[in-house]
Amino acid sequence: MVSITWVTSWDIETIATSTLILLNVLTALAFMAQPSGVHRPFQSIRQQPLLLWPLLSLMIPLWPGCTAPPPKRELLGQELILPSNGEVILSEPFVLDAEAVGATRLFASVGLPVNSAISLTTELLNASDQVVLAFDKEGWRERGTWQEDGQSGIYDESDSYYEVLFKPNQSGQYRLRFAVDGLEDQAGQALLAQLPLRVNVQDRQVDHGLAIWTFWIGLGIVLMFLNSIYCQGRRRHGGRIDDLLETSSFTRMNYERGVIMLKIKGRFELPSRVKSDAYQKISSSFQLPLSLEIIDGNGLTLQSEKITLYLNKKSANDEDDPPYWQFKKRLFFYNPRLRSLRFRLSIPEQIDCLEQEWIDFDLRDRIVSMRPLNIRRIL
């Protein structure tokens, strides 16, 4: 156990890679502060709403892995003899660089007599012999005999080393000062001994665990940013409906120049009056005609089209429930200028012996994409 007792003119810091987390957070907040207006700078120049430069943000979490950390550098490696009577021992001087990447690592290991406990004080001195960092180490060593299930042996356990990571705020020459505050046996009696002490100081220590966390947190923030750009758009109308033609009247509004997305998903089922054994005789796929008209503010039909949807048989989550038939369709339209539009859609509520159960309707504009889309141009 290491306890910090006094810190002067020092900053105990984590690795510089944590700066990436803050950078990613600020970037995401900047782009996501106003979701409804974030796509204004990304309006389609031509018919295809391709926007590729946000994909470069995927490089942000990969940056720590693409930059190899500098090699560790040993600043001090020394073996000392430490008297247990409290006499102070100084290490050789070494130089610390405040601008070095990563942290500085101090490792010290002391050899203890059998069945003893120690209190060791360590101080870091600057070139003026001022204490800038001090901490204590409580260590022990125990040897004995163990017995279990008819077997026995000798154990020798100890806690006689410590490791401290720190980062200086000033470059310069430093030394370590060691002193034993107390060395006792198991009975609490003071012991006199010359204790071997091994000291090692290295800089450019990188916390790989923090780097991994930085990657995953950074990746999560980047994915949130990309989701706000590519997957949202601006919702104009939507919800679960029963009548597609009736809902079409709510699509009358002004649409900006750019790409409009119309997404519909529906479910058809057999009516309850149909016998249960009829499911086996019905086709697993049906063609469903969708009638589409786009009408401007003057009531003129700009575009009229018949689109074929495909109803496919699906199994219910509950084995006791009957199967159902489902369709999904996404349509993209390019609107060349700001104007009032209405999307008039209709599908038959019954096909063969299947009846419409519900339809999910979603209409959005300000759509951008990372890949080419099959877009219908509105004249």
Average pLDDT over residues 160-187: 93
Q: What is the pLDDT of residue 322?
A: 77
**Range with lowest mean pLDDT among 6-15, 77-86, 195-204, 270-279:** 6-15
How many residues can be counted in the chain?
379
For the chain, the average pLDDT equals 82
Q: What is the pLDDT of residues 204-243, one digit of tens each?
A: 877 777 778 888 888 888 888 888 777 678 899 999 998 8
What pLDDT score was predicted for residue 320?
64
Q: What is the DSSP letter of 270?
A: -
Predicted confidence at residue 272, as pLDDT, reads: 74
What pLDDT was estimated at residue 288? 92
CATH, domain 235-377, list 3.40.50, 1.20.1730, 2.60.120, 3.30.70: 2.60.120
| Model pTM score | 0.53
Categorize the per-residue pLDDT at 8 as very low, low, confident or very high, splitting at 50, 70 and 90: very low
Q: So what's the pLDDT on residue 4? A: 41
| Residue 85, burial from CB neighbour count under 10 angstroms (0-12, 13-18, 19+) | exposed
Distance (Å) of CA 285 to CA 242, 245, 266, 356 = 22, 24, 14, 15
Which CATH fold topology does 2-210 show? Jelly Rolls (2.60.120)
Of the segments 32-46, 200-214, 274-288, 329-343, which one has the largest average pLDDT value?
329-343
Contact 255, 237 (CB under 8 A): no
d(CA 6, CA 21): 30
User: In the structure encoding, which two tokens stand for residue 261, read together?
Assistant: 């997305």
Spatial CB neighbours of 231, under 8 Å, sequence gap ≥ 6: none
DSSP 20: H
Please classify residue 260 by burial: count the beta carbons closer than 10 Å to its beta carbon, then call 0-12 exposed, 13-18 middle and 19+ buried: buried
Query: Distance between CA atoms of 153 and 289, rounded to whole angstroms?
Result: 84
Sheet strand arrangement including 161-168:
10-11, 161-168, 103-110, 194-205, 73-83
Q: Which two tokens stand for residue 35?
A: 């979701």
pLDDT in tens, 284-328: 889 999 999 999 999 999 999 999 999 998 887 766 677 889 999
> Is residue 162's pLDDT more than 80?
yes
pLDDT at residue 43 in the model: 43
- Whole-angstrom CA distances from 74 to 71, 106, 167, 205 are 10, 10, 15, 11
pLDDT of residue 194: 95
Phi, psi of 111 (to 5 degrees): -85, 125
- Give the residue with greater pLDDT, 177 vs 373: 177
The string of pLDDT tens digits covering residues 28-37 is: 444 433 333 4
Domain boundaries for CATH 2.60.120.380 within the chain: 2-210
Tell me phi and psi for residue 48, to 5 degrees: -80, 125
